[in-house]
Amino acid sequence: MKCSNIDTWICKTEQLTDLTRPTLEKLQLNRLNELLSQIHTFGRFYHNLPENLSSLEKLKNLPFTTPEMLATHSQSLLLTSQSQISRVISGATSGTTGPSKRIFYSEKDTANTIGFFAAGISEMVQAGEKVLIAFPFSGAFSLGDLIERAVLSLDAVPLRLGSRKTYKEQCDYICQKRPDAYIGFPVTLLSVARMYSATHSDAFPIKHALISGDACPEGVVEALEARLHSQTFPHYGSREMVMGGAITCPAHEGMHLRENHIIGEIIGPDLKPVPDGQWGELVITTIGMEAMPLIRYRTGDYTRFLPDPCPCQSITKRLDNVSRGNGSNTTIEALDSTLFPLPTLVDYLAALQDNILQVTAHTLDGQTAPAIKSSARQFFPDKEICIQETLCRPEDMPLYPAKRYLITA
């Protein structure tokens, strides 16, 4: 099996002839110390940090940066002039609680992300193939725009579907354009594929999918892969890492972290780093971000580093499945994983208030409520479960605008 394209991209980006673990960790330490020196000169938010670390191991002694700090001190975290900023993202993402954050990107930051995206997309897309992009196009340097630039760099053909479309709009567009690949939310693709089969006589044309923007629960991925007759390529990213963080290789055993620009740690309940293979919260230090680098930022995402070597022989660390909970079964990811294997479920919205779990479901047959209730019962054995089921119509829209979350009182 050929090595991950991420390794090739890192070598090209960093002008390395070969990528080994010692070479990569030396690059990380040098870049981290360059960042600390720059922070020391600017004397801003991180002004109390040391100017130099003797090893990557010393990183664990530095304090964390929290989402609350990022929201409160965004201007103090900025290390470039305003004239160098090409993109600012403000506000909280769907499902995010707490104060809003402002994230700043330079043109170099976004260029690096485009290169990373292209490396990941190239694992499933060949020149000339058509790629459906189902993320928002809200102007230059928006997520949809960055993905489109990455697709173009591969000499492939981007198709701008965008977001917030009815099932009819999405299915008709797919029928007309016949895309080979898809980039977007995992549940949205599964829902559209099921509606397409119910409303169109021809076979669903999409063969490959890079799924991102939300968690990729095992049950959803398995249902998608059965529908596409091919394995999917989950991607993990966030605004804090300029949208691009880790991507799946052809081995499909975890997501390779963008380690030339991100140092990752997994911390346990005691807030101390845990060994590879143990689950915990992902912490990132964005050594490759120019405008707003973050040191030991607590993402709130729950995952682990896979301990064994990847079959593709890449030396970069790999993330396992990522969830936004703490490993609890009572999350939207757990519900998605157990409900979406039901073949007639198109979409659902879940709200947990007091002692009642209310599920609003769109289905293909109007007869799936008993199965939904039975499946949900294993996660909420002590709750009253109410199912409101309706037949999904072509003019309906997905029930979540972006990331899925369990609505709570």
Residue 153 token pair = 């760099």
Burial (CB count within 10 angstroms: exposed 0-12, middle 13-18, buried 19+), residue 211: buried
The DSSP H or E segment spanning 9 is helix 5-14
Beta bridge partners of 105: 87
pLDDT tens digits for range 336-364: 999 999 999 999 999 998 899 999 999 99
As a whole number of angstroms, the distance between CA 283 and CA 297 comes to 5
pLDDT band for 225, please (50, 70, 90 cuts).
Answer: very high
Q: 61 and 73 in contact (C-beta within 8 Å)? A: no
The answer, yes or no, to whether residue 22 has pLDDT greater than 50, is yes
Closest CA to 345 of 370, 313, 327, 312: 370
Q: 330 and 381 in contact (C-beta within 8 Å)? A: no
Numbered ranges of CATH 3.30.70.1350 in the chain? 332-408
Token match 């969830």: residue?
A: 323
Strands 157-160 and 130-133, sheet pairing: parallel
The mean pLDDT value for 271-282 works out to: 97
As a whole number of angstroms, the distance between CA 321 and CA 88 comes to 28
pLDDT band for 95, please (50, 70, 90 cuts).
Answer: very low
pLDDT band for 97, please (50, 70, 90 cuts).
Answer: very low
Numbered ranges of CATH 3.40.50.12780 in the chain? 1-327
Query: Among 31-45, 242-256, 371-385, which is the least confidently predicted range?
Result: 31-45
Residue 243 token pair = 């949208």
pLDDT, residue 101, reads 86
**What percent of the chain is predicted at pLDDT more than 70?**
96
Question: Hey, how many other C-beta atoms are within 10 angstroms of the C-beta on 320?
Answer: 16
pLDDT tens digits for range 114-168: 999 999 999 999 999 999 999 999 888 899 999 999 999 999 999 999 989 999 9
pLDDT, residue 47, reads 87
pLDDT tens digits for range 260-270: 999 999 999 99
Q: Which CATH superfamily is domain 332-408 in?
A: Cation efflux protein, cytoplasmic domain (3.30.70.1350)
pLDDT, residue 3, reads 82
**Is the backbone of residue 94 left (phi > 0), alpha (psi -120 to 50) or beta?**
beta
The mean pLDDT value for 36-47 works out to: 86
pLDDT, residue 96, reads 47
Token match 């007091």: residue?
A: 354
Question: What is the pLDDT of the chain when averaged over all its residues?
Answer: 93
The answer, yes or no, to whether residue 335 has pLDDT greater than 70, is yes
pLDDT, residue 326, reads 63
What CATH code is assigned to 1-327? 3.40.50.12780
3-state secondary structure of 358: strand
pLDDT tens digits for range 388-400: 999 999 999 999 9
The answer, yes or no, to whether residue 253 has pLDDT greater than 60, is yes
pLDDT, residue 301, reads 94
Q: 99 and 71 in contact (C-beta within 8 Å)? A: yes
Token match 């340097």: residue?
A: 141
In terms of residues, how long is the chain?
409
The answer, yes or no, to whether residue 308 has pLDDT greater than 50, is yes
3-state secondary structure of 361: strand
Question: Hey, how many other C-beta atoms are within 10 angstroms of the C-beta on 107?
Answer: 14
**Which amino acid is located at 68 in the chain?**
E
Q: Convert 206-223 into a string of H (helix), E (strand) and C (coil).
A: CCEEEECCCCCCHHHHHH
